[in-house]
Structure 1
Amino acid sequence: MPQKFANTLFHNFLGSAPQWYKLTIITFLIFNPILFMLSPYIAGWVLVLEFIFTLAMALKCYPLQPGGLLAIEAVAIGMTTPHQIEHELAANLEVILLLIFMVAGIYFIKNLLLFAFTKMLTKVKSKIILSLLFCASSAFLSAFLDALTVIAVVISVGIGFYSVYHKVASNKSFLEDGHDHTSDHELTEFSQNDLKQFRGFLRNIMMHAGVGTALGGAMTLVGEPQNLIIGSKAGWEFVEYAIRMSPVTIPVFIAGLFTCFLVEKFSWFNYGVKLPVNVRETLVEFSQHEDDSRSYKDNVKLIAQGCVAIWLIAGLALQLAPVGLMGLSVIILASAFTSVIDEHAIGKAFQEALPFTALLVVFFAIVAVIIDQQLFTPVIHWVLTFDGNMQLVMFYLANGLLSMVSDNVFVGTVYINEVAAALQSGQITRAQFDMLAVTINTGTNLPSVATPNGQAAFLFLLTSALAPLIRLSYGRMVIAALPYTIVLTFVGLIMIYSGVLTSVTETFYQNHWIEHQNVSSNTPAKH
């Protein structure tokens, strides 16, 4: 009986995760208290590496459970305290509100985004132009909305069109219900060839859109969760944040679009796959049917969603309210004018955001350990021994490399906290802090496109229902992202090393964007 209970308990532990993964997490939990008694500093670093491991293995098990167990144990053995975690949560409340309300708010204007991407896919015949449009539009939307929601919309478009053609290729009407588009046994050999090419086409489009979310996400305060953390520490509002980042993000955006053009033009890295003629005809016919069947009421809803989207962009640009409250206003306005008044219907909007919000709270628990055990202090001191632009380069590379294998929100949070502590202790000036904040943001946003681990949007795509349909594996994603990784990282590095950040920071001071007394202040402040 005890043996049966133990076997069942082990089977239930972390569910369907591989057995070796379960044993690894159990080993971590047993080993940590022993190591903490021997050396708290080493135990703290081991905990950070263990947490990074859970992020890197996100495809085996969502990091909330294993990472959460590590965080709970850290509190239990004294690595940090609930009070310190509460302090971190209070300091980053704006980020939590962003994830809860903004992601849910965009859910209510998803139909408008679906409509736009659908028209783009069926109206534009040039693959190069279509790729550039998907990349640029994803960047624009991610700069003002939420990268996860943008990629979710693109995934919805991909699944919708894939299932439509799969029905037709199986000699069925695209209006027919109950078709299993995951099985190819009803396809003819000719249809299978078209479907294979269509999968390659969708892989290309999805990767361009995913990279677009990274390009746009680096530009603004709301593009990525770590941006808001960095902006809050620096005291930057929406417009100031965008201007400060622009010396790096605008050249990188241009370079990203140029890379998109080159890989499509010359069919590098498995790009350049065109949409088969038969597939295009089917999709155009389906889109026309959707337009014809859309009622006047549906069209009014799309207009209402468009007006709410304009309100959101204007509100963020004019800094009318904190980001989280702007997201809440979108929920209220969009649901009120699109007939969504049922509690359960509204609740669906929060399903995508809350798991990651919970994971972010675990992030802050690990950050609390780093602060209490002073884990990053020697590293920060070493990097600060470099002078001038080389100091910025070292921060950029350190953030970039860690973001490739870990989560960029975690990396950005840790580094900006350490730099803020260095400012408060008088180790660096306010001007240095501003430039380092830009470097941390770009370092966590750009090189992280190398792997699905680094970008939440990439990981979301890889774990989506679309990925197995279009045969998008981890390895294929890494290969497809490689040209973007090289170009974006290199261009960002050049812009940081060139000294342009120093010039922009000096311009801010000279034109009184920042009050003179804040230049020498040792604490980031609202300007």
Structure 2
Amino acid sequence: MKNSLLSALAKNFLGNAPRWYKQAILTFLIINPILFMVDPFTSGWILVIEFIFTLSMALKCYPLQPGGLLAIEAIAIGMTSPDTVKHELLANFEVILLLIFMVAGIFFMKQLLLFTFTKMLTRIRSKTALSLAFCISAAFLSAFLDALTVIAVVISVAVGFYTIYHRVASGKDFQVEHDHTEDSHFVDELTKKDLEEFRSFLRSLLMHASIGTALGGVCTMVGEPQNLIIADQAGWHFGEFFLRMAPISIPVLVLGLLTCVVLEKTSWFGYGGKLPENVRAIMQRYEAHQDQKRTKRDNAKLAIQALIAVWLILGLAFHLAAVGLIGLSVIILATSFTGIIEEHQLGKAFEEALPFTALLAVFFSIVAVIIDLHLFKPVIHWVLEQEGHAQLIAFYLANGILSMVSDNVFVGTVYINEIRSALMEGQITRDQFDMLAVAINTGTNLPSVATPNGQAAFLFLLTSSLAPLLRMSYGRMVWMALPYTIVLVFVGLACVNFNLIPVTDFLYHNGLLIHHSAKAAAATLIH
């Protein structure tokens, strides 16, 4: 009886995850308290590596459960405290609101999104042109909207495409529901081959769009949450932020888009997948079918959703309210004017975002461990010990490396506060402060594309319901991001090293930027 109970408990633990994976998580849970008693600093870094392991195995087991167990244990043994975790959650409350409400708001605009992107998919036959269009669109939108909002739109579109094809290939009609069956339901081997090609096609589009969010996000103060923090500490307005980032962000954008073209032309790193003609035919039939059966009421819904999209872009671009609250307004407007008034109809919209919201809370628990155990302290001290031009490069690289494994907002906040203190104490000049702030911003935005835990948009994609359908694993994302990582890191580094100071001096000389005295800067920061 006892053995059967233990066997049942073992089977229930992490469900259908592989046995070796369960054993690995149990091993982590056993050794962590022992390591913490021996060396807290080392044990903290091991915990970070263990959490990254759970992210990398997202297709084996959703990271919330194993990562959550590690976080609970970390709090229980004293690696961090509930108060620090709460502080991190409150500091990132706008991101949490965004996930809860904005992603759900996008759900209620899927008719417009599917209509728009189906037209694009069937009209643009060149895969290179289509990939470039996705990358440029994501970059432009991310310069004014939050990257998570943009990637939520792209995921919603990809799910719509996948579902249309899957239902037709399974012998069903065009009704678009989230009904994903197993490959065994496909009618023949040719259909399975088309599916694999279609998956490759969608994977490349998603990765191009994800990279696009980073290319655009670095350009403006509203592009990423840490950008706002850096701009606030530096006292920069929207235009000044753009001009200060331009010596790095513009060359990176151009070379990033060129990389998109090269990858599609060469089919390196898993790119270059074409849309199968059978799938294109299905999409064209779907488009014709939808156009034929569309009623005046359907057209009215599309018009309402288009107006709401305008409100969404304007509201986010001009920061008329917190991102999450704008998302809530989208839910209210979209449902009110399209006849969705029943509670169970609303519930579906929150299914995608809430698991990731819970995972993000666990992630902030790991960030709390990094804070309380001062895991970044040696790197921070090393960077601050550098002088002159070498300090710019050191800040860029240090921010980039740390942003690959931690929260960009946390890393950016830590470093901008450090140089703010240095400015207040007279250790650096205001001009040096400005250039270091640029290095910090670009360092947190560009190298972080290397891993899903470096970019929230990547992590959201990895843990979405779409990832297992497209066989989008952690390792595959790292591999597909690698060429972009190399280009973005080295172009950014070259611009910091050779381009930042002369271009900034040129902007000063032509009156596009204003020199700040250290005394005036300190007064501004105190205020």
User: TM-score, normalization: structure 2?
Assistant: 0.82
The one-letter code of the counterpart of 1:58 is A
Q: C-alpha distance in 1, partners of 2:104/2:173?
A: 34
The Cα offsets for residues 66-111 of structure 1, whole Å up to 9 and x where unpaired, read as: 3333333333333333333333333333333333333333333333
Q: C-alpha distance in 1, partners of 2:452/2:265?
A: 25
**Residue 522 of structure 2: aligned partner:** 521
**1:413 and 2:410 aligned:** yes
The Cα offsets for residues 427-462 of structure 1, whole Å up to 9 and x where unpaired, read as: 666655554444344334333333445444445545
Contact 1:214 1:445 in 2 (8 A): yes
Specify whether residues 176 and 74 from structure 1 end up closer, same or farther in structure 2 by C-alpha distance, changes over 3 A only. Answer: closer
What SS does the aligned partner of 1:14 have?
Answer: coil
**Residue 290 of structure 1: aligned partner:** 290
Tell me the CA shift for residue 219 of structure 1: 3.5
Q: C-alpha distance in 1, partners of 2:523/2:57?
A: 39
Q: C-alpha distance in 1, partners of 2:489/2:416?
A: 22
**1:370 and 2:370 aligned:** yes
Contact 1:230 1:412 in 2 (8 A): no
Specify whether residues 245 and 94 from structure 1 end up closer, same or farther in structure 2 by C-alpha distance, changes over 3 A only. Answer: farther
**Residue 420 of structure 2: aligned partner:** 423
Tell me the CA shift for residue 381 of structure 1: 0.8
Contact 1:218 1:446 in 2 (8 A): yes
Specify whether residues 277 and 307 from structure 1 end up closer, same or farther in structure 2 by C-alpha distance, changes over 3 A only. Answer: same
Q: C-alpha distance in 2, partners of 1:324/1:461?
A: 19
Specify whether residues 385 and 321 from structure 1 end up closer, same or farther in structure 2 by C-alpha distance, changes over 3 A only. Answer: same
Contact 1:380 1:419 in 2 (8 A): no
Larger deviation: 361-370 or 165-174? 165-174
Larger deviation: 60-69 or 452-461? 452-461
**Residue 217 of structure 1: aligned partner:** 217
**Residue 23 of structure 1: aligned partner:** 23
Counting only pairs closer than 5 Å after superposition, residues 219-258 of structure 1 correspond to structure 2 as: 219-221=219-221, 223-224=223-224, 227=227, 241-258=241-258
Specify whether residues 354 and 439 from structure 1 end up closer, same or farther in structure 2 by C-alpha distance, changes over 3 A only. Answer: farther
What SS does the aligned partner of 1:74 have?
Answer: helix
Counting only pairs closer than 5 Å after superposition, residues 40-189 of structure 1 correspond to structure 2 as: 40-162=40-162, 164-165=164-165, 182-183=182-183, 187=187
The Cα offsets for residues 309-358 of structure 1, whole Å up to 9 and x where unpaired, read as: 22232233333333333333333333333333333433433333333333
**Residue 275 of structure 1: aligned partner:** 275
Q: C-alpha distance in 2, partners of 1:227/1:442?
A: 9
Specify whether residues 239 and 452 from structure 1 end up closer, same or farther in structure 2 by C-alpha distance, changes over 3 A only. Answer: same
Larger deviation: 299-308 or 394-403? 394-403
The one-letter code of the counterpart of 1:134 is F
Larger deviation: 347-356 or 228-237? 228-237
Q: C-alpha distance in 1, partners of 2:391/2:58?
A: 32
Q: C-alpha distance in 2, partners of 1:396/1:41?
A: 24
**1:495 and 2:495 aligned:** yes
The one-letter code of the counterpart of 1:497 is N
Contact 1:431 1:519 in 2 (8 A): no
**Residue 330 of structure 1: aligned partner:** 330
Larger deviation: 84-93 or 127-136? 84-93
Specify whether residues 164 and 319 from structure 1 end up closer, same or farther in structure 2 by C-alpha distance, changes over 3 A only. Answer: closer
Structure 2, unaligned runs of 5 or more: none
Larger deviation: 461-470 or 101-110? 461-470
Q: C-alpha distance in 2, partners of 1:259/1:23?
A: 41
Tell me the CA shift for residue 249 of structure 1: 2.6
Contact 1:229 1:413 in 2 (8 A): no
What SS does the aligned partner of 1:498 have?
Answer: helix
Tell me the CA shift for residue 114 of structure 1: 2.2
Q: C-alpha distance in 2, partners of 1:54/1:255?
A: 33
**Residue 350 of structure 2: aligned partner:** 350
What SS does the aligned partner of 2:385 have?
Answer: coil
Specify whether residues 101 and 226 from structure 1 end up closer, same or farther in structure 2 by C-alpha distance, changes over 3 A only. Answer: farther
What SS does the aligned partner of 1:311 have?
Answer: helix
Contact 1:95 1:229 in 2 (8 A): no
Q: What is the percentage of aligned positions where both structures have the same residue? A: 61
Specify whether residues 166 and 379 from structure 1 end up closer, same or farther in structure 2 by C-alpha distance, changes over 3 A only. Answer: closer
Specify whether residues 55 and 387 from structure 1 end up closer, same or farther in structure 2 by C-alpha distance, changes over 3 A only. Answer: farther
Tell me the CA shift for residue 167 of structure 1: 6.1
Contact 2:54 2:67 in 1 (8 A): yes
Counting only pairs closer than 5 Å after superposition, residues 434-453 of structure 1 correspond to structure 2 as: 434-453=434-453
Specify whether residues 104 and 83 from structure 1 end up closer, same or farther in structure 2 by C-alpha distance, changes over 3 A only. Answer: same
Specify whether residues 325 and 230 from structure 1 end up closer, same or farther in structure 2 by C-alpha distance, changes over 3 A only. Answer: farther
Contact 2:383 2:398 in 1 (8 A): no
What SS does the aligned partner of 2:183 have?
Answer: coil
What SS does the aligned partner of 2:340 have?
Answer: coil
Contact 2:412 2:444 in 1 (8 A): no
Q: C-alpha distance in 2, partners of 1:68/1:524?
A: 38
Corresponding pairs, count? 523
Tell me the CA shift for residue 257 of structure 1: 1.6
Larger deviation: 253-262 or 359-368? 359-368
Contact 2:169 2:187 in 1 (8 A): yes
**Residue 340 of structure 2: aligned partner:** 340
The Cα offsets for residues 222-275 of structure 1, whole Å up to 9 and x where unpaired, read as: 545555565666676766655544433332222222122223334444544443
The one-letter code of the counterpart of 1:420 is N
Tell me the CA shift for residue 156 of structure 1: 4.4
Tell me the CA shift for residue 294 of structure 1: 2.0
Q: C-alpha distance in 1, partners of 2:523/2:356?
A: 33
Specify whether residues 176 and 294 from structure 1 end up closer, same or farther in structure 2 by C-alpha distance, changes over 3 A only. Answer: closer
Q: C-alpha distance in 1, partners of 2:80/2:23?
A: 25
What SS does the aligned partner of 1:384 have?
Answer: helix
Counting only pairs closer than 5 Å after superposition, residues 302-321 of structure 1 correspond to structure 2 as: 302-321=302-321
Contact 1:400 1:448 in 2 (8 A): yes
The Cα offsets for residues 143-167 of structure 1, whole Å up to 9 and x where unpaired, read as: 4444445444444444544554566
RMSD: 3.9
Specify whether residues 459 and 320 from structure 1 end up closer, same or farther in structure 2 by C-alpha distance, changes over 3 A only. Answer: closer
Larger deviation: 178-187 or 456-465? 178-187
Contact 1:304 1:337 in 2 (8 A): yes
Contact 1:56 1:453 in 2 (8 A): no
Larger deviation: 325-334 or 254-263? 325-334
The Cα offsets for residues 473-513 of structure 1, whole Å up to 9 and x where unpaired, read as: 55554443333222222222222223527865996998787
Larger deviation: 83-92 or 288-297? 83-92
